[in-house]
């Protein structure tokens, strides 16, 4: 899972390593629901570029591309509410997700930095998924 920021070039590095977040998505969703915040996957939206990447990876259907709805964009503050709640919960109990808790926490902190920068610039965002 990775962050897409609205616009061609947001003026900062948006790279995040979301592999552990993707691997533990079900457990993270349960944790988010227990914390009363939106699960990360609720911020997913497929834009044309993301779909083209999925198709290149062999995971998307090229016939759906012309019927793809416009991407949904979210405010960084909405995402930060979820990310900061998850960070706090993992800081309280780092191994509640098992031995990968530290890696998940590190990725959440990467998300937090990108979302803070997007908020400072007034840019919206969404999550996308890569199958590689």
pLDDT for 79-131, tens place per residue?
999 999 999 999 999 999 889 999 999 999 999 999 999 999 999 999 987 75
CB 35 within 8 A of CB 86: yes
Residues 35-69 pLDDT 10s = 999 999 999 987 666 666 666 766 666 676 666 67
Which SS3 state, helix, strand or coil, does residue 128 take?
strand
Q: Smallest Cα–Cα separation from 3: which of 117, 121, 122, 94?
A: 117
Assess contact for 112 and 14: CB atoms under 8 A: no
Concatenated DSSP letters of 67-82: GPPPPP-B-HHHHHHH
pTM of the model: 0.85
Q: How far apart are CA 15 and CA 125, in angstroms?
A: 13
Burial class (CB in 10 A: 0-12, 13-18, 19+), 103: middle
Domains of the chain: which residue ranges? 2-128
CA-to-CA distance for 89 and 74, rounded, in angstroms? 23
Instruction: Report in angstroms the alpha-carbon separations of 46 from 61, 63, 116.
Output: 12, 14, 22
């Amino acid at each position: 899972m990775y962050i897409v920021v609205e616009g061609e070039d947001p003026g900062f590095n948006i790279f995040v390593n979301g592999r552990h977040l993707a691997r533990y998505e079900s457990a993270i969703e349960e944790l988010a629901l227990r914390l009363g915040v939106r699960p990360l996957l609720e911020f997913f939206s497929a834009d044309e570029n993301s779909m083209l990447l999925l198709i290149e990876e062999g995971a998307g259907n090229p016939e759906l591309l012309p019927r793809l709805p416009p991407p949904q964009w979210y405010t960084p503050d909405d995402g930060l509410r979820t990310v900061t709640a998850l960070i706090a919960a993992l800081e309280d109990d780092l191994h509640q997700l098992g031995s990968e808790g530290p890696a998940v926490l590190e990725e959440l902190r990467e998300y937090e930095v990108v979302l803070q920068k997007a908020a400072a610039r007034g840019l919206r965002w969404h999550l996308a998924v890569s199958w590689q």
